[in-house]
Amino acid sequence: MISYCTNVHPAEDVAGIVAQLERYALPVRERLGADRLGVGLWLSAPVARGLADDVAARKALRAELDARGLAVYTLNAFPYGGFHDEVVKHAVYRPRWTDRERVAYTIDCVTVLADLLAEDASYGSISTLPLGWRDPWTAYDDRCASEAIDQVVRVIRIFAAAGDRPIRLAVEPEPGCVLDTVDDALGWLSGRVDPAYVGLCLDTCHLAVSFADPAETLAAIAASEVDVVKVQASAALHVPKPAEARDALATFAEPRYLHQVRELDAVGVVHRADDLPGAWEELPGEGPWRVHFHLPLHQAPAAPLATTTDVLRTVAAGLPGRPHLEVETYTWSVLLGAGDLVGGIAAELAWAQANLIGEGSAA
């Protein structure tokens, strides 16, 4: 079952989350004509803390989900909070995996997911950030992050020993972070974490932005000891000729989120800019660009812009294992304003169902 990620909704308390599920997720399910709809919940740190401390509250939230035909297989524990503040940018990468707050938040999410997990789920997944933003980062930070992830795994093992279905942590590479690419993540995770409980969250927008070949990436994953635990089905903005697209790109240079840009030159070197507004001064502007902006899967932007759904299709067709699949387009508020969010999410999920579901994905 495909889930859609609720980080598109701004609610950061339980009452607000339930209201958003009623306002958006239930109508999406009904519009799709589905008996059940997967929702990849995003819980801010205070919400996760409150739910982890209160078993009755977890049961009540589970009842609210069940009453609306909503099923939880995965949580998004990348943003800690404030994901819909007026300016998010680098704040989304804090706290880092060197900080006790990140450990506590993730453990809270483990506790909550264990009680919310859909009955037909073989495991639960929790996606998380790729350690932190790349600068500053030291060898000492590396050791701290390893120890922090080990703390979470020890808690997960306690749940597994009690007979609960396994919970798996999914580390999500992202441009500009310590684990910038899938190759970075494979190199860091291999031999360092228990692969039974820690693997990859493969975000196909991030993969496309890196200009990595998706088939080669899948082969590298298959040859490693690291599993793809979760796929975030997403598409990046592709700019074949930046010089001809300056006006068209202006719409996407919005102030809330960081929109990393990569340019591929004629000899295969990838040049980097940390945000779209500065890319014009920082990049050569001669080769194609890819921009970290999650585009709706079913809508290609108008020329001279394009989308990277071809990368997503390649990944979906060749995935090793049976990871969770979550549509994560959190930029609807930027693209739509007060437009038809229910219709947008439903259309995107219908596209994903028609184009991505097959032997490579499961609950």
Unique residue bearing structure tokens 């040859």: 223
Q: What pLDDT is stored for residue 336 in this prediction? A: 62
Q: Which of 184, 167, 307 is nearest to 229 (CA)?
A: 167
Cα 51 to chain centroid, rounded: 22
Q: Is residue 59 part of a domain?
A: yes
**pLDDT, tens digit, 9 for 90 and up, residues 286-305:** 999 999 999 999 999 999 99
* Mean pLDDT, rounded, for 182-195: 98
**pLDDT, tens digit, 9 for 90 and up, residues 157-181:** 999 999 989 999 999 999 999 999 9
Q: What is the mean pLDDT of the chain?
A: 95
Terminal CA-CA length for the chain: 5
**pLDDT, tens digit, 9 for 90 and up, residues 297-346:** 999 999 999 999 999 999 999 997 889 999 999 988 777 655 799 999 99
Strand partners, 326: 3, 232
β-pair type (198-203, 228-233): parallel
Q: Is residue 194 part of a domain?
A: yes
Q: Is residue 181 part of a domain?
A: yes
Given a cut of 50, is residue 362 above it in pLDDT?
A: no
Q: Which domain holds residue 346?
A: 2-235+308-355
Give me the count of residues in the chain: 363
Identity of residue 35: D
Q: Is residue 151 part of a domain?
A: yes
Q: Is residue 158 part of a domain?
A: yes
Q: Is residue 279 part of a domain?
A: no
181: three-class secondary structure by DSSP: coil
The secondary structure of residue 6, as a DSSP letter, is G
| Paired tokens of 340 | 């038809």
Per-residue confidence at 358, pLDDT binned at 50, 70, 90? Answer: low
| Paired tokens of 77 | 């524990």
Per-residue confidence at 262, pLDDT binned at 50, 70, 90? Answer: very high
- For the domain that residue 31 is a member of, what is the CATH number? 3.20.20.150
Given a contact cutoff of 8 angstroms between Cβ atoms, the answer to whether 252 and 289 are in contact is no
Share of the chain above pLDDT 70, in %: 98
Q: Is residue 303 part of a domain?
A: no
Specify the pTM: 0.96
298: three-class secondary structure by DSSP: coil
Q: What pLDDT is stored for residue 178 in this prediction? A: 98
Q: What pLDDT is stored for residue 67 in this prediction? A: 98
**pLDDT, tens digit, 9 for 90 and up, residues 21-60:** 999 999 999 999 999 999 999 999 999 999 999 999 999 9
Q: How far is CA 10 from CA 19, 81, 182, 194, in A?
A: 11, 10, 29, 34
Question: Measured at the alpha carbon of residue 363, what is the angle toward residues 227 and 66, in degrees to the nearest 5?
Answer: 140
**pLDDT, tens digit, 9 for 90 and up, residues 77-105:** 999 999 999 999 999 999 999 999 999 99
Gap between the Cα atoms of 55 and 61, Å rounded = 10
What domain count does the chain have? 1
Burial label, 155 (beta-carbon count in 10 A; 0-12, 13-18, 19+): middle
Given a cut of 90, is residue 65 above it in pLDDT?
A: yes
Query: What DSSP assignment string belongs to 186-246?
Result: HHHHTTTS-TTTEEEEEEHHHHHHTT--HHHHHHHHHHSS--EEEEEE-EEEEES-GGG-H
Burial label, 162 (beta-carbon count in 10 A; 0-12, 13-18, 19+): exposed
Q: What pLDDT is stored for residue 241 in this prediction? A: 97
Q: Is residue 258 part of a domain?
A: no
